[in-house]
Amino acid sequence: MLQVTALNELVSCLASTPPLDLKGMELLREQPHLISDTARIPRPQLIEAVTEIVAYTGRCAAAASSLASLTPVPILSVSIGEFGI
């Protein structure tokens, strides 16, 4: 039952993580017309936003790679009522 508790704690932890507010996403919320290139934003602000998104994408890829290489943990004693087990 320890594995189920750990899984529930992990799910709870991930569900309570607030969404990351990236500068690029904030710019798009404030000025959705930026995609059509009808407005200008200061170059340093754009560079900072794009750099942040690229770095975040890299961190997500690294985390996904780390998770993919974890060894499976066998669950030896679990009750799943839906399947009669």
Residue 2 is assigned to a structural domain of this protein: no
Low-confidence ranges of the chain (pLDDT < 50): 1, 38
Residue 65 is assigned to a structural domain of this protein: yes
Residue 40 is assigned to a structural domain of this protein: yes
Cβ count near 31 (within 10 Å): 12
Distance CA 59, CA 63 (A): 6
Number of domains composing the chain:
1
Query: CA 15, 18, 19, 23: dihedral to nearest 10 degrees?
Result: -170
Q: What's the confidence (pLDDT) of residue 55?
A: 92
Residue 1 is assigned to a structural domain of this protein: no
Q: What's the confidence (pLDDT) of residue 40?
A: 73
Q: What's the confidence (pLDDT) of residue 37?
A: 59
Q: What's the confidence (pLDDT) of residue 58?
A: 93
- Model confidence pLDDT, tens digit, residues 50-61: 899 899 999 999
Residue 50 is assigned to a structural domain of this protein: yes
Query: Which residue range is the domain that position 73 belongs to?
Result: 20-83
Which residues make Cβ contacts (< 8 Å) with residue 48, sequence separation at least 6?
23
Q: What's the confidence (pLDDT) of residue 62?
A: 93
